[in-house]
Structure 1
């Protein structure tokens, strides 16, 4: 082996060895990039009908951004004050329910054991929400950067696609371009499916909470819908305030609340989402759950929020680059169905 060839292989080995460390140190940047890509995908989804009527891309994206802003402002204007009061009621009732549950558990040896394992009985839902707010506020600058970067990516996706492609040797650029298209298609389909699922869960939980007799049913539905952005874990998190609110009424209401949440999520997981995922992106549930927990443990709550799209991206890369192209197995790659849509969009942009 010549000195030049040895040096070349050594550089490749060192680069591969250092990549996990770089990702670990710059994981906040990974999260911002993920957020920017999702924002770009959302803008393209909303702009898609306007592109179909031959509006220029920049104008269609501007209209899409304006519509998203109008919808957000409209929701805040129509439901902001009422929803804010409902959230305050949920917080006060949840705190009262927590105290009631704590007092009940302290009346037995088993209950005291349970409390001793839940942060020595000092768990407080309002404190948890306050800490979550402080965490989100600390990432305000990152969110602003992700929004601006997402807008830039949405306006000129080909510029960034070609830039990434140029990082690879000439003989690999065809495969790199195809892989990037698969990633874009998978994230597009995942976003559509997730938005549909969030809307479905939010509406059905809101109706179920009203039917059970819980106060602030709209706010509970909103919490459940937003929490559904994090698969599996979000449904558990959304149930906690509903259960504490139900505790302040009576035990039969708590039982009916648990049954309602269970039935809604069972229907969502075994009937509704499989129908949606036939045309969207499906990742093995166990893989998704383990990935969310692992990223959350390693990098905190923000990583949990973006764990699902990160998992989808890794799943696409492993399936295409390793299983299909290295092992030569005939497998379907998530996002492959969306490549045609991306090609059509690029051709319409060229026209």
Structure 2
């Protein structure tokens, strides 16, 4: 008697199928972990990319109007930048150095004048008592350590700035090579989408950088004009600081305003009040005149997102995150628009 036919045993599932499903997510997690470890390097590369976009934006008119090749237009831009910076240093360099030195000597007097001003008010005296009770510099070894750390940080910042410039020049010299290399890491079915996203990100960041550069230049110029009208000392250095700090949204103008008013307070309360009026007037002009004009052709970032970007990226990445908060938010908005809104949300409508 023959045995009935038995059904064939189930074919065991190969682990390769599960590995194919888990593999991409595992690679993504590993990439995120590696990015977190190398966050300082990535921030430096991002800053170099912004510098490369500035160089490309300056070289592009030479290529379009003069018909120059990228290999020739970029060296001309670099030579022009060196001449402009060298000329500015030659014209105002000695005065700027002297004013920076005078500013460093003035700050202790400004702090003393500020303390005397606080002592005239009840709330001010309470703040002074709170400050002295904290005793932030009672341990002089901590103060020495802070000074040493500041010197080391400044030295590291100089080295990072040099590396940033070198990386930016290489990226601007041949952007197509790096773009094509990045696209080769993407599956063929997604290359068109990623290429479009990269182009949109470069366009939006370039427009934001151009608008921010115009805002910084105008804020520095308006601050210098206003301070000159009231007879403010250290005019050049304070105007330069105000223009540079305009790059940091919301908090930068506050810091520059406090510095200007503090320096003016060392000369007298009347000058401090006039300096406060100048700072407020410049910020009002920047908010209601400069920004509306710039935002006609530059990227407009909602105020809430701008402020949140400084807080979020500052917590995540420290001081580099604060300095690069706005371009990081511009990049984030572009990625969300191209990779999610246009590819997921809009096709469903």
The residue number in structure 2 matching 1:336 is none
The answer to whether the 8 Å contact 1:206/1:219 transfers is: no
Deviation at 1:88, TM superposition (A): 2.0
CA contact (8 A) 1:34 1:309 kept: no
In 2, Cα distance between equivalents of 1:50 and 1:279: 21
Mark the structure with the bigger radius of gyration. Answer: 2
Question: Do residues 11 (structure 1) and 29 (structure 2) align?
Answer: no
Distance in structure 2 (CA, Å) of the matches to 1:102 and 1:142: 37
Shift in Å at residue 114 of structure 1?
A: 2.4
1:54 corresponds to 2:86: no
List gaps (5 residues or longer) in structure 1: 331-351
Distance change in 2, residues 1:83/1:133 (3 Å): farther
Deviation of 1:140 after TM superposition, in Å, equals 2.9
**3-state secondary structure, aligned to 1:326:** helix
Name the CA shift for 1:309/1:119 in 2 (closer, same or farther; >3 Å): farther
Structure 1: distance between partners of 2:258 and 2:152: 20
CA pair 177-110 structure 1, distance change in 2 beyond 3 A: same
Residue of structure 2 equivalent to 1:120: 134
Per the TM alignment, residue 192 of structure 1 is displaced from its structure 2 partner at its CA by 0.8
What's the RMSD between the two structures over aligned residues?
Answer: 2.6
Query: Counterpart of 1:251?
Result: 269
Deviation at 1:265, TM superposition (A): 0.9
CA shift digits 1:294-345 (9 cap, x unpaired) = 2223332233222222221112111221222122279xxxxxxxxxxxxxxx
Q: Whole-Å Cα distance in 1 between the matches of residues 98 and 135 of structure 2? A: 28
CA distance in 2, matches of 1:84, 1:257: 22
Report how far residue 171 of structure 1 moved. Answer: 0.3
Q: Displacement, 1:206?
A: 0.6
Contact 1:90–1:241 (CA under 8 A) maintained in structure 2: no
C-alpha deviations, 1:34-70, integer Å up to 9, x for none?
A: 1211121121122223212011111110000111111
Aligned: 1:97 with 2:110? yes
Is 2:256 the partner of 1:221?
A: no
Corresponding residue for residue 94 of structure 2: 81
Match of 1:144 in 2: 162
Correspondence list, 1:1-351, <5 A: 3-51=15-63, 52-106=65-119, 110-115=123-128, 116=130, 120=134, 134-328=152-346
Per-residue deviation, residues 224-279 of structure 1 (Å, max 9, x unmatched): 11111122221112112211111112222212211211121122122211221111
Cα gap change, 1:151 to 1:254, in 2 (>3 Å) = same
Q: How many residues matched? A: 328
TM-score, structure 1 as length reference: 0.85
Instruction: Report the CA distance between 1:139 and its aligned residue.
Output: 2.9
Distance 2:238 2:67 in 1: 41
CA change 1:239–1:133 in 2 (3 A) is: farther
Gaps of 5+ in 2: 1-12, 138-143
2: CA distance, partners of 1:205 / 1:190: 22
Q: TM-score, normalised by structure 2?
A: 0.86
